[in-house]
Amino acid sequence: MSTPRTVLITGGNRGIGYAIAEEFVTAGHRVAVTARSGEGPAGSLTVRADVTDSAALDAAFSEVEQKLGAVEVVVANAGITRDMLLMRMSDDDFDAVVDTNLGGAFRVVKRASKGMLKARFGRIILVSSVVGLLGGAGQVNYSSSKAGLVGMARSITRELGGRGITANVVAPGFIETDMTAELPEAQQLEYKKSIPAGRFAAPSEVAKVIVWLAGDDAGYISGAVIPVDGGLGMGH
Ligand code: NDP
């Protein structure tokens, strides 16, 4: 078993974030989730925060530090889509997606790095997407935000890699959550045809990879993009 750690996951009230929190709890870690509404799974601490709000995140981190200890593993998972073709995409839809997915990750890892530098240990995991590197029609905002996470993890690796801190990207393909349930059935069937595995994945399949990345055996992996996509993004 890996050393028990204090873990914070953003957007842990549903979908992939909820599954990540469940897996960390099962693996014996001290787990906190941020949520705007709802709760994380049994055995986790839920703290309120919107990732677009630095002050709220700061307060959430302070609460976790007080109740569970300094955050050693942070998973920037909260994310949104606002898909639209480029010509019709509003500035607001572009800004909101980038501010949540990329800006949110920045705010979270910046706050987390304080304690990690002090402890000379940290695991930073950014939840990107296969479309970050593959691109997606109607997803100029979303794919830009997700590609940005790769530069973020690699810059953090160069800045903090010598202090016992790793930063990696996990890039899921199609995972069965509310986000993909919104897609029309015909489109879901079309996507399944293009995935070598021929299916979407369960959230737990992403969660287990993230728990492994945070574990003792993954200490020499940093600046990597780890696909969990059934082969959809091969070569990217
Ligand atoms: P869901 O839509 O099911 O859940 C999104 C989560 O993010 C919710 O907990 C939501 O909170 C939270 N969130 C959104 N905006 C904010 C915000 N401003 N502040 C705080 N929390 C916020 O999505 P998934 O579980 O499917 O996705 C999780 C991550 O995985 C996202 O980053 C997504 O881009 C990525 N991903 C998902 C894929 C998929 O196929 N599902 C594929 C590739 C990547 P609330 O409940 O309050 O809205």
User: Which CATH number is 162's domain given?
Assistant: 3.40.50.720
Reading the block at residue 3, the tokens are 């050393």
pLDDT at 183 over 90: no
* Spatial CA neighbour of 206 closest among 114, 48, 79, 61: 79
Best of 141, 177, 187 for a ligand 1 pocket test (most atoms within 8 Å of beta carbon): 177
Nearest-angstrom CA–CA distance, 230 and 219: 25
Does residue 142 sit within a domain? yes
DSSP state of 3: P
Residue 55 lies in a domain: yes
Q: Looking at the domain assignment, is residue 37 inside a domain? A: yes
**Is the alpha carbon torsion for 86, 90, 93, 98 positive or negative?**
positive
Q: Would 235 be classed as within a structural domain? A: no
How far apart are the C-alpha atoms of 199 and 78, rounded to whole Å? 24
Q: Is the pLDDT of residue 43 over 80?
A: yes
R_g of the chain computed on alpha carbons: 17
The whole domain housing 132 covers 6-228
Q: How many domains does the chain have?
A: 1
pLDDT band for position 111 (50/70/90)? very high
Pick the residue whose CA is nearest to atom 11 on ligand 1: 11
179 by Cβ neighbours in 10 Å (0-12 / 13-18 / 19+) ranks as middle
In Å, how far are 42, 99, 217 from 12, measured between CA atoms?
A: 11, 19, 24
Ligand 1 nearest atom to the CA of residue 206, by list position: 30
Q: Which residues line ligand 1 (CB under 6 A)?
A: 10-11, 13-17, 36-38, 50-52, 77-80, 100, 127, 129, 172, 174-175, 177-180
Structural domain contains residue 233: no
Whether 236 is covered by a domain: the verdict is: no
- Strand pairing partners for 123? 73, 166
pLDDT-derived band at 236, boundaries 50, 70, 90: confident
User: pTM score > 0.95 for this model?
Assistant: yes
Which residue's alpha carbon is at the smallest distance from atom 16 of ligand 1? 78
In a domain, residue 224? The reply is yes
Residue 52 Cα: closest atom of ligand 1: 18
Residue 118 dihedral angles phi and psi, to the nearest 5°:
-65, -45
Question: Is 214 a domain residue?
Answer: yes
Residue 191 a catalytic site member: no
